Structures are given as C-alpha cells and as structure tokens.
Structure 1
Amino acid sequence: MKQAPLQDATLEALAAHVFAEIRALSPDSAGVSRPAFSGIETKVLDWLAEFARAEGLCVEEDAGRNLLFCLPEHAEAPRWVLIGSHVDSVPMGGNYDGLAGVVAGLMVLIRAARGGRGLARPVKCLAMRGEESAWFGACYLGSKMLTGQLPAEELAASHRGDGRSLAAHLEDLGIDTAPLAARQPICDLDRIEEYLELHIEQGPLLVERGLPAAVVSGIRGNFRHRLIRCIGQAGHSGAVPRAYRHDPVLAFAELMHRLDDTWDHLLRTGRDLVLTSGIVGTDAQSHAIARIPDMLGFSLDIRSQETAVLAQMRDYLRDQMDDIARSRGVRFETGPEVAVAPALMDPDVIARLEAAMARSTGAAFTMASGGGHDAAVFAQAGIPSGMVFVRNRNGSHNPEEAMDLADFMVGTSILSAYLGGEE
C-alpha cells in the first residue's frame, strides 16, 4: 500500500531524531568528537545504515568504507546525482558540521520515498569519512580518496593522537591503500552527474542578513603548514642582552605582525584573504618563566578565493621568514605544505539551485564560502558541483553551533525542488 506523502513537520521531527541519536553516539566533555577513520565514526555510519534500511532505502558501502543510500529503484542506475557530506567532526566540535549534509540527503530520499517531491533523476546520498584536518593534519581525505587526489605525504600523515599513519588507520578498517598510493579514484567518477552538498554556514552572514539559506558560488582554497618550527637559542632571561638574543617568540611575533599588515592591505585593495595561526607554543618540557626558549612551534592556515593571492602569500611568507631569520638569528623549518586550490561551483548548477531556492523561499541569495568543503574536491575532479548553506549561529568547529531545524528544512526543500521540481 502506498504511503501518504510525508508532511514537513513529520520530516523535521525525523531529522531531529537522527541528529539527537548521533549526538548521543559521539559525546565528549564538550560537544561531540567523531574522529576520522575511527571506531566512533564507524559506529555512526552503522547507525545511519540501520536507520536508512528501516526507511526502505538501499544501503551500500564503497571501497573507502563510506556509505551510499538511494531509493530501491535507483540501486542499479548507470548514473546519478550525488548528495553528500562528512560524518566526522573536530575534537569537541558541533553536531551539525558535515552531518547536516548527510541528513539532508537522507531527508530528500525519504521525502521522495513517502510520496512527496519525486526525483527527476537517480540520486544517491553519500555519508563520507574523514573531512576534518584536525586528526591527520590534512583536510578532505575521504573525498580525495574517492577522486584519486590524495597526495603521498597525506597518506603517510600521522594521527594527532597515536602518531600512526593514515595508511595504517585505513588498513585497520580493511581499506585497500594500493590504489590510493597510485592516486587512482576508488569510485567510478563517470557515473556521478553532479555533486551537491548542504552545509551549515560557518560565518555570520546569513544570521546578519536574516536569511535561512543561501546558494554557494565558490569555495576558498588554502595552503597550510601543520607545524612550523622557529628555532633560536636558549638563554637566561635576565643575563642575555637584546643584541645577543636569538628569540623564536619575538621572531614569530614579528612574522605574524607582518602577515597581519599584508592581510589588511589586501583587504583594503579589494582582494580576498584570511589567515590563522591556531596552534602556538614553546616546548612544554623545557620552557620556563626565566628561560629564553630555543624553539617555538606554530601552525599556519592561509586561505583565499584567488589563486593569485595564494601564490603571492606563499612567496611573501618565505621572503619574510628569510628576512626575520637573518635579522634575529633564528631559522624557520616549515615542514610539509598541504594545499587545496580554490573551487568555483558549476554555473549551471548555481543557476538551477537559485531557481529552486526562489521556488522554495520566494527569493534567491548567493554567497561565497569562506571555509573549505568536500564540494571543492569534487569540482576539481571535473564533476559539476553545487552547495547550499543553512543559517547557523555561533560559527562552527565548536559545541555552540546553533542551526535551527526550520532553517535546515528550508535547505532540504531547496535540494528537493532542485532534484524533482515542485510537488
């Protein structure tokens, strides 16, 4: 017997149930922690698989041990639209970053299965592992694995906790690392017509504008150094005059001051840039209040939508480190760089998402993404890609993420309208 169409209120309650259950599977002392390629991440995927099967969806696992969900009639489709995002989180993060995109895809499928908005084309929802850089120092690992874009140094990257390589963690999960080492895609990219991703906004624009959702035009690229070491010379804090000091703390401070001045100049001239040093510290085993430290370590994350700005900043960073090293008698060891190119969303996908948003909300709104997302990796693999942002207060990567379910439902309605037209 055919089920009655699922009402929005029922669908919203179902989404709330999924978010609550997964929050309960991954609690931390604050927020949630779902480490990439971990047992907790696997437990979350197992729960999603059981939930999807109970809703009458087909579930399959791919070569990266990600999950794909679809309507039974689309299980053998030769090509499909992929809606996806990631299920891992940063340590003590929020519950919606990544997960909202997976739940949105599931709600689109469940709405179609229950006789709501139908799907004009086959659709599969992807619940992906390993997007956050917090665990191995590199981002988008899962989507890079899928698309054959995982660099060798990232496959060898060490885990922040146990120090073991990403390859070792993948092998623990039974994932064949040979194609990854050869940079071969582990899925058939020709079968993916488009990639769509819903994500919470990680900044304040939608909150400030009073809008529930937006279409995304493009995603900032970045280059990152997980650990830059500024190496100087230890000494007594009271006995070494300034002229004879090789102080890595002051060298770091001068470098950040110069970078900040350049950031300000670029913004004033209409260019796009953000930069962050989120990890800074001297050696806890040897630092002391009366000791000039011999080393300071710090991370650096530089982002822009403009390839030329990223190249300019890469050269500027090296020039400034060289200059400060000479003047202060220190040296900088940057370690490996992790880089992702900026990605523009597909113009045709953007236009159709804007039309779907206008049908769903009465007006379209389009904005750029400051944060990086898996959609950038799919776009760089040649797959037409698009994104929808959902309003979220208090930023992301913290326990205070505050996405209203009503806004989330607006985002899923945009996707449903895009994929199947109006009911």
Structure 2
Amino acid sequence: MISDDRRQPTTISDSVTHSAATPNWWQRDDLAYDTGGRLRLAGQDLAHLAQSAGQPVFAYSARRLSENLDRLRQALRSIPHSSRILYAMKANRFLPVLSHLKTAGIDGIDVCSPEEIHLARQVGFREDQISFTGNSVSNADLDCLAAHPGVWVNCDSLSTIRRLAERSPGRKIGLRINPRVGVGYRQNEQLRYAGDTATKFGIYADRMEEALALADQVGLSVTGIHFHTGCGYLDDQLANFRRVLEEALPFLRLVPHLEHINLGGGLGIPLAEGDAPLNLSAWSEVIGETLGSLAVAIWMEPGDYLVKDTGVMVLEINTIEEKGGRTFVGVTGGFNLHLEPAFYHLPLHMLPCCLSDDPGSQALPKATVVGNINEALDVFAEDIALPPVAEGDFLAFLNAGGYGTSMSSNHCMRGKFAEYLVV
C-alpha cells in the first residue's frame, strides 16, 4: 500500500469484491461491509487504507465514476438533441479523477478560473473541450481567455461582454442567464443560485436585449445560452426544474443564431435515508417536453452527480466523551477538509469502518460528531445514532467525493490529507 499527501496523487488497484448480508440504503456493489464486518470501497479495506496513510483519507471509486457517467449518457440519448457532458472541475480536481474521466471519453470540462483551464490542458483536454463560466471576472481572467481562443466562454454580465470583446474580438460566446427560478436539495435556499431574491449569477430578463445589442455592437456572436440555478435537486424538484426551462424560453427566443443550450449542473444524489435516486427518465422527459422543438444541442455540466457518491472521507475517532449532557465524538479532521455539513447543512452519512463486537466499544444512540478545528462551526453532525465505536476506530463519511478536497483549506494548519482513486 502506498500512502500520499495532497500533492502526490495515487491510484490503487484492488480486484477483491465483497457484499454485506443486510442491505442498507447506501449500500451498492462497490460499497459494503464484507463478511468480516470491514467496510470496503471498490474492494479496498478503508480502515486499512486510513491506518496506512496515517492522516485523513479521501478514497474514490473509479468504477462508480464510470457508472455515473454512463447512466447520464444513457438518459441523454432519449432526448431529441445532440448532447455534450462537461465535467464541472470545481467539484473535484484530483488529477486521477480528471484523467479517468478523460479516458472514459467525457465530452469536456467546465471551468471557472484560469488555473482550471491550465489544469484541464495539463490533463489533455483540447481548448475546444473546455467551457469557461465565471462571475466577477477580472481583466487578468479575460487576458487568459484571449490567450486560449478555442475555449468556450459564457459571459455572466454586460461588463464581461464589453471587456472580453476588447481582448478577443469576433469570438462566439454564450450568455449566462438568470431565469429567477431555483432548484436545490430539500428546498435548501443556500443551494439555489436563482429565485425571488436577486443573486450575482447571470443576466436577468430586463437586460437581456441590452446584452445582445452590446454583444452585436462590439463584434461578439451569441450562439449559446447557459443557466445553472441550483445544486443537489432530486425528484421533488423536477417541477421546479421544468419551471426553470420554461422561464428560460423567452431568453432563448431572443437569440437569432442559437446553437446550444447549457443546462448547467445541479443533479443530485441520495444523501440520507429516505432520499431516492433522481429519476433520470423523468428528468430527460422534462427536457424533451420543454426544449424538444428547438433545433439546438444540449450541453450540461454535472459535478456532484458524477463524483459525490464515488468518494469516502475516513477520519480516526480520537475522543468519545460526555460534556454538558451530550455525547461528543471527536475525529482527527475538521470542517476545513469537508465544509458542506457546516456551511450548507448537507449530511455526510457516517459509518464505522469496522463493525465491532468488542466490549470496549459502545453504541451511541445520540452522538454529536465534531472535528479538530478550534471553531464552533466545526460540527459534522448533531444527535445522530452510531453503531458501537471506540477511540482509535475509523469513521467513514459517505458521499464525500464532491466539494470536499476542492474546497479544503489549511485552517489551523490542519489541512493535510491523502487522496486515492481505487480502480
């Protein structure tokens, strides 16, 4: 076994497969307890991996990554349009993950900064496979885009249109619009990029004609429309997703030479018991019914949908102690490694890496799991039930493959971790 840190990507090959006797809502062929009660991801013993690494671990299943991409491709085949899937790099930029997607034949990459452009090129994506969508875009950003004329650019503001034209005249561009309808996991307003409250994202209807006139005046040709209105939506949000597309139609009709529509990302996965997988047949049906009459290509930018459930974060339990009438479980890693529970109130389902009948272990019907950062915000979950665990055990945090390491920091100088792609 080879351990690594955040600067040295590692790929692990392990062909052993296991299954658990009792199915759980999160269980699948590549994620289950083996007959010895040890949690395995794509055959890899997670406790052994974390023990060998000696630091917080993020492990990703290459098999699950391929399955997620194939499932989405299959759904898009049912719509009456050609389509492109562009992976949203901001979700997870681990080089082996990017390389695996490249090898799997993904159509391209969605980026939002010059450094992401450079990383996409490093992995081997051509300029015409890269789509840039940013906001508060600086002149330095625009200089980089001018130096990469093959990169597609979605302009988020009139200011960007004007300043891009000064540096890259004659370019085809897309406009990011804001249809004022948002979608998000379990009605979570923090995950909505559009809605009744004005946000920084996109061009609103009251300035759309002005934006098109400006683009024409400065010599840019608008041939694409982009919108991304929220994150993590499941079936309960499909009606809102339909509204997003319907509200986008007046924008689309204003563009005389429209070639493609970029639906953004936001497709969700089950994060907790009771969540059901997004019905992709129903999702694609909504696209066909609302946009089917338009002779355009459909682009999309999934991030979480491809990587979130591929990943498990593994942290060691160092403290189990009652304080003020509450049982706290302290782990060797904090919200700086995965901030979604603290910032967005999104659950990371937690499991012991080894099921234990050790008399020293104790079941915890109501535990609060906390990290090792000196901030009150550093709480992973409150009052959850945990199977028997003891200090020194390893705890697995499921669905940690997206917006974990890519948003991590070195706060309190506790930013070290190891990453692995298990193949």
Q: Do they superpose with TM above 0.5?
A: no
Q: What TM-score, normalized to structure 2?
A: 0.31
Which protein has the bigger strand share? Answer: 2
Instruction: Compare the two structures and name the one with the higher helix fraction.
Output: 1
TM score, norm. by length of structure 1: 0.31
